[in-house]
Amino acid sequence: MRLADWDKRLAGYIEEVRYIPFERGVHDCFIFAVKCEEAISGVTRFPELYKAKYHNLFGANKAFIKNGYRGMFDCIDKRCMEIDINMMQRGDWAAVDSPEGLAIGVCVGNKIAAVGESGLVFVNNAKAKAAWSI
Protein backbone atom coordinates (compact mmCIF):
# COMPACT_ATOMS: atom_id res chain seq x y z
CA MET A 1 0.00 0.00 0.00
CA ARG A 2 1.31 3.44 -0.89
CA LEU A 3 1.78 6.04 1.82
CA ALA A 4 -0.23 9.27 1.64
CA ASP A 5 2.88 11.31 0.75
CA TRP A 6 4.52 8.62 -1.42
CA ASP A 7 4.94 10.86 -4.47
CA LYS A 8 6.84 13.49 -2.47
CA ARG A 9 8.94 10.81 -0.76
CA LEU A 10 9.80 9.14 -4.08
CA ALA A 11 10.77 12.47 -5.68
CA GLY A 12 12.92 13.31 -2.66
CA TYR A 13 14.78 10.00 -2.81
CA ILE A 14 15.37 10.32 -6.54
CA GLU A 15 16.84 13.81 -6.04
CA GLU A 16 18.97 12.54 -3.15
CA VAL A 17 20.64 9.85 -5.31
CA ARG A 18 20.49 11.57 -8.73
CA TYR A 19 24.26 12.05 -8.96
CA ILE A 20 25.49 9.01 -7.06
CA PRO A 21 27.37 6.71 -9.45
CA PHE A 22 26.69 3.01 -9.84
CA GLU A 23 28.41 0.87 -7.23
CA ARG A 24 27.49 -2.77 -6.99
CA GLY A 25 26.16 -3.64 -3.54
CA VAL A 26 25.92 0.03 -2.53
CA HIS A 27 23.96 1.88 -5.23
CA ASP A 28 23.01 -0.54 -8.00
CA CYS A 29 19.77 -1.11 -9.88
CA PHE A 30 18.23 -3.49 -7.34
CA ILE A 31 19.11 -1.42 -4.28
CA PHE A 32 17.83 1.73 -6.01
CA ALA A 33 14.51 0.06 -6.89
CA VAL A 34 14.06 -1.36 -3.38
CA LYS A 35 14.76 2.01 -1.76
CA CYS A 36 12.22 3.59 -4.11
CA GLU A 37 9.72 0.93 -3.00
CA GLU A 38 10.45 1.85 0.62
CA ALA A 39 9.93 5.54 -0.16
CA ILE A 40 6.55 4.69 -1.68
CA SER A 41 5.23 2.22 0.88
CA GLY A 42 7.48 2.44 3.93
CA VAL A 43 8.45 -1.23 3.56
CA THR A 44 10.03 -3.58 1.05
CA ARG A 45 9.22 -7.09 -0.13
CA PHE A 46 12.97 -7.79 -0.38
CA PRO A 47 14.53 -7.05 3.04
CA GLU A 48 16.92 -10.00 3.15
CA LEU A 49 18.11 -9.45 -0.41
CA TYR A 50 18.89 -5.79 -0.61
CA LYS A 51 20.90 -5.99 2.60
CA ALA A 52 23.04 -8.81 1.18
CA LYS A 53 26.75 -8.03 1.05
CA TYR A 54 28.25 -8.23 -2.45
CA HIS A 55 30.66 -6.21 -4.57
CA ASN A 56 30.40 -7.78 -8.02
CA LEU A 57 27.86 -9.39 -10.34
CA PHE A 58 28.80 -12.89 -9.18
CA GLY A 59 28.13 -11.93 -5.56
CA ALA A 60 24.82 -10.29 -6.46
CA ASN A 61 23.65 -13.41 -8.31
CA LYS A 62 24.86 -15.60 -5.45
CA ALA A 63 22.65 -13.62 -3.01
CA PHE A 64 19.55 -14.39 -5.10
CA ILE A 65 20.50 -18.05 -5.53
CA LYS A 66 21.18 -18.40 -1.79
CA ASN A 67 17.61 -17.24 -1.18
CA GLY A 68 16.12 -19.77 -3.62
CA TYR A 69 15.90 -17.73 -6.84
CA ARG A 70 17.54 -18.20 -10.22
CA GLY A 71 18.41 -14.50 -10.25
CA MET A 72 17.03 -11.01 -9.78
CA PHE A 73 14.24 -11.26 -12.33
CA ASP A 74 13.05 -14.64 -11.01
CA CYS A 75 12.84 -13.07 -7.55
CA ILE A 76 10.96 -10.01 -8.79
CA ASP A 77 8.55 -12.22 -10.77
CA LYS A 78 7.76 -14.22 -7.63
CA ARG A 79 7.28 -11.21 -5.33
CA CYS A 80 5.68 -8.60 -7.61
CA MET A 81 2.84 -8.62 -10.10
CA GLU A 82 4.00 -8.19 -13.68
CA ILE A 83 1.97 -5.65 -15.63
CA ASP A 84 1.72 -4.53 -19.23
CA ILE A 85 4.41 -1.91 -19.87
CA ASN A 86 1.71 0.41 -21.23
CA MET A 87 0.05 0.34 -17.79
CA MET A 88 3.14 1.46 -15.85
CA GLN A 89 2.54 4.18 -13.32
CA ARG A 90 4.91 6.36 -11.34
CA GLY A 91 6.79 4.16 -8.87
CA ASP A 92 6.39 0.90 -10.78
CA TRP A 93 9.50 -1.07 -11.70
CA ALA A 94 10.67 -1.67 -15.26
CA ALA A 95 13.35 -3.81 -16.88
CA VAL A 96 15.59 -1.77 -19.18
CA ASP A 97 18.73 -2.48 -21.19
CA SER A 98 22.05 -1.60 -19.58
CA PRO A 99 25.68 -2.19 -20.57
CA GLU A 100 25.66 -5.39 -18.47
CA GLY A 101 22.28 -6.68 -19.68
CA LEU A 102 18.83 -6.02 -18.25
CA ALA A 103 18.57 -3.79 -15.19
CA ILE A 104 15.72 -2.60 -12.98
CA GLY A 105 14.59 0.99 -13.12
CA VAL A 106 11.67 2.92 -11.64
CA CYS A 107 8.95 4.69 -13.59
CA VAL A 108 8.94 8.42 -12.78
CA GLY A 109 6.22 9.50 -15.21
CA ASN A 110 7.06 9.32 -18.90
CA LYS A 111 10.63 8.19 -18.10
CA ILE A 112 12.29 5.34 -16.26
CA ALA A 113 15.03 6.26 -13.79
CA ALA A 114 17.89 3.78 -13.61
CA VAL A 115 21.32 3.82 -12.00
CA GLY A 116 24.09 4.66 -14.45
CA GLU A 117 27.84 4.98 -14.28
CA SER A 118 27.70 8.67 -13.27
CA GLY A 119 24.33 8.76 -11.53
CA LEU A 120 20.74 8.26 -12.55
CA VAL A 121 19.87 8.03 -16.22
CA PHE A 122 16.37 8.57 -17.58
CA VAL A 123 15.08 6.56 -20.52
CA ASN A 124 11.75 6.73 -22.30
CA ASN A 125 9.06 4.34 -21.01
CA ALA A 126 8.89 2.82 -24.51
CA LYS A 127 12.32 1.23 -23.82
CA ALA A 128 10.87 -0.96 -21.03
CA LYS A 129 11.18 -4.71 -21.64
CA ALA A 130 8.88 -5.67 -18.73
CA ALA A 131 7.16 -3.93 -15.81
CA TRP A 132 5.94 -4.76 -12.30
CA SER A 133 3.42 -3.02 -10.10
CA ILE A 134 4.74 -1.58 -6.83
Alpha helices in the chain (DSSP H): 6-17, 29-41, 47-50, 57-66, 72-79
* 34-60 mean pLDDT: 90
Question: 81: part of which helix (H) or strand (E)?
Answer: strand 81-83
Domain count of the chain?
1
104 located within any domain: yes
* 36-65 mean pLDDT: 90
Could you report the per-residue pLDDT of 121-131, keeping only the tens digit for each? Answer: 999 999 999 99
Could you report the per-residue pLDDT of 69-125, keeping only the tens digit for each? Answer: 999 999 999 999 999 999 999 999 999 999 888 999 999 999 999 999 999 999 999
Query: Could you give the C-alpha distances from 121 to 38, 107, 114, in angstroms and in order?
Result: 20, 12, 5
pLDDT at 2: 94
The CATH number of the domain where 78 resides is what?
A: 3.90.1720.10
Residue 35: domain span: 6-133
What's 20's DSSP letter?
P
120 located within any domain: yes
1 located within any domain: no
